[in-house]
A and B are shown apart, each in its own frame.
Chain A
Amino acid sequence: QGALSSCLRKPRRDPPSFFPAVSQASLVRLHHRFRALDSNKKGYLCRMDLQQIGALAVNPLGDRIIDSFFPDGSHSVDFRGFARVLAHFRPVEDEGTGTWDPEEPEPLNSRMNKLRFAFQLYDLDRDGKISRHEMLQVLRLMVGVQVTEEQLESIADRTVQEADEDGDGAVSFLEFAKTLEKMNIEQKMSIRILK
């Protein structure tokens, strides 16, 4: 019978090993987690699977974080996409400056890519700029009904003005990165997976 032979063979569904940015052991753990979250054993995750996580649902930016798994309006994310997002949060090993091969694509957990991840949490329409309107919407997500509209507008205005250098009324990615150049991104946006 199929069940008999399959359960006596090696464990099914070996996780694909294609990510240099994530170690093999971590990848196995993430694959375990992916399977655990995939409630109907579909082989991919949908929005609802992520919304079921209590600690994520109470996070004010929960919806934006879930959106980052479904770029380009897709409705499902496979393990590759799942690990891709999580790879942004891998701690940056101190390899010394300038030792990585400039021919190779930048690793997903580099400082720039971590910043890009944070940027796209604000950039709702993915046009490469955070407009005042988008800033207002994200602020509204974070404070709920606790702050008045006028106050929120003034906070949004101030923030955009401070960051905006070329005066186009919106914050581009480079302006965003410049504002945060002194911030210790590596520590604030890293999750260390224990072996």
Chain B
Amino acid sequence: MEGADLAGKILSTWLTVVIGLILLPSAFGVSLGISELYMKILVKTLEWAALRIEKGVPKESVLKNSAPVGIIQRDESPMEKGLSGLRGSGFELSDVFYFSKKGLEAIVEDEVTQRFSSEELVSWNLLTRTNVNFQYISLRLTMVWVLGVIVRYCVLLPLRVTLAFIGVSFLVIGTTLVGQLPDSSFKNWLSELVHLTCCRICVRALSGVIRYHKRQYRPQKGGICVANHTSPLDVFILATDGCYTMVGQANGGLMGIIQRAMVKACPHIWFERSEIKDRHLVTKRLREHIADKKKLPILIFPEGTCINNTSVMMFKKGSFEIGGTIHPVAIKYNPQFGDVFWNSGKYSMVNYLLRIMTSWGIVCDVWYLPPMTRQEGEDAVRFANRVKSAIAVQGGLTELSWDGDLKRAKVKDIFKEEQQKNYSKMIAGNGSLN
């Protein structure tokens, strides 16, 4: 009897703490500053750890981060210059040197494959999963690490799972209830409140500390919001500060239940798998949506896949053909507190959520950029690149023109054909076909 009594008491205190300190403030959009305090303590601890590591590690074995400069000396001259030398205008046996050198350079280092693995950290952040090169330093550091494990798995994880559970159930129940009301501005206001509260609960569930910049450029109704994509959490990060219409594929299972509930309260756009193939249908539906100026802005991730937050890859032009005003948003995560990148090929959703919930937290910056529209005579691809540059510059990310689909599929043959065309012009001159 006593055991059950005690357990009951613990559970009720636990729930009161959760409700009082987390749920109620979320509902009213008030922050008690607990997450910020936690982050301050964490930062101090990690700085201390970094100093200890630097002192302890012998100089030779420190491997510098190779990202910005590159590890090989590259000659970026175009094919014509690279193939020149003792040659006439036709084919030479030595032409093979140029291609083999370029090929081997790509094998040693290429700018794409490194974008699909998590960003390397400059100093260890006391998580086992990021321990790539770091060695045993001292007993104190190990003790701190053990303490970190206990805190993360025994204190933070249960708390976060509880909150996530509450958040999602509240979303489903809340939107279903709101959906029963007749259409009115009261209904819209209420549905916005429900969405906002749930996102805030979920973000708090992950100890998220988000800084929003330039809030005067927040996406307006009737516009399209585009952002760079790193993980499914991007949606929660953005939805905490404003209400959006989500666009996506209608799933089955738990996601399907959530999606169907959400759409009752607020007109989100979910496509069936078969409809997605029909680009005209998709464009038409999106166009209809933004034509109604009272509807919430659409949230789209034009990269189409998750990238590791060090670069921005090609923006698919579909979103930029719809018309309307584009509101770009740049999201940059701080990798020191947890790796947010989701490599969907490597980790399942459940595994990913578990990793997120046992990280220290999520710290990110969100910049809202001034709205952009397609100019006269500018085609969708150029417009997409312009928006992409703006986002990359603001977020401090590298710009790449490779397609994010390279994560899963092989590169399209058309790029190889371009190289072949170039080369044929050089060796066959006027006789080549085209």
Contacts and interface: CB of A to CB of B under 8 A. Distances in A.
A87 B111 CA distance: 22
A76 B132 CA distance: 25
B417 A144 contact: yes
A147 B432 contact: yes
Given A29-B66, A146-B434, 4 more contacts: A9-B136, A50-B107, A53-B106, A65-B107
B93 A176 contact: yes
Given A86-B104, A188-B98, A36 B114 contact: yes
Nearest to A24: B60
Interface in B297-344: none
Interface stretch (B2-10, B197-205, B376-384, B419-427): B419-427
A193 B136 CA distance: 30
Contacts of A17: none
A23 to B, nearest CB: 13
Interface string B57-85: 00001010010011111000000000001
B423 A61 contact: no
A165 B338 CA distance: 65
A189 B421 contact: no
B186 interface: no
9 contacts: A52-B410, A56-B110, A65-B99, A118-B96, A139-B91, A143-B427, A146-B432, A147-B433, A191-B73
Contacts, number: 184
A159 B231 CA distance: 54
A3 B421 CA distance: 52
B113 A10 contact: no
A144 B416 contact: yes
Give the size category of B's interface with A.
35 or more
Contact of B420 (A55, A60, A138): A60
Contacts of B114: 36
Contact of B110 (A55, A159, A190): A55
Contacts of A56: 103, 106-107, 110
A191 B63 contact: no
B296 to A, nearest CB: 37
A50, A117, A147: residue with the most chain B Cβ atoms closer than 10 Å: A147
Interface stretch (A96-104, A105-113, A177-185): A177-185
Interface in B161-194: none
Interface residues of A, number: 62
Contacts of A180: 93-94
A1 B183 CA distance: 59
B428 interface: yes
Interface string B403-430: 0001000110001111111011001100
Contacts of B110: 53-56
Interface string B116-145: 010000000000100111111000001000
A189 B100 contact: yes
A194 B91 CA distance: 33
Contact of A159 (B71, B93, B106, B136): B93
B86 A182 contact: yes
B273 interface: no
Interface string A53-68: 1111111111001000
Interface in A108-157: 117-118, 121-122, 138-139, 142-148, 151, 155
B98 A193 contact: no
B101 interface: yes
B95 interface: yes
B108 interface: yes
B183 to A, nearest CB: 49
Contacts of A36: 113-114, 117
Nearest to B61: A11
Contact of B431 (A9, A118, A145, A151): A151
Nearest to B428: A147
B70 to A, nearest CB: 7
B102 interface: yes
A85 to B, nearest CB: 8
Contacts of A30: 108
Given A7-B128, A57-B411, A193 B72 contact: yes
A183 B419 CA distance: 24
B3 to A, nearest CB: 30
Contacts of B418: 58
B100, B103, B112, B114: residue with the most chain A Cβ atoms closer than 10 Å: B103
Contact of A148 (B133, B417, B433): B433
A168 to B, nearest CB: 17
A55 B106 contact: yes
Nearest to B146: A4
Contacts of B411: 54, 57-58
A68 to B, nearest CB: 8
A42 interface: no
Given A139-B91, A143-B428, A194 B105 contact: no
A9 to B, nearest CB: 6
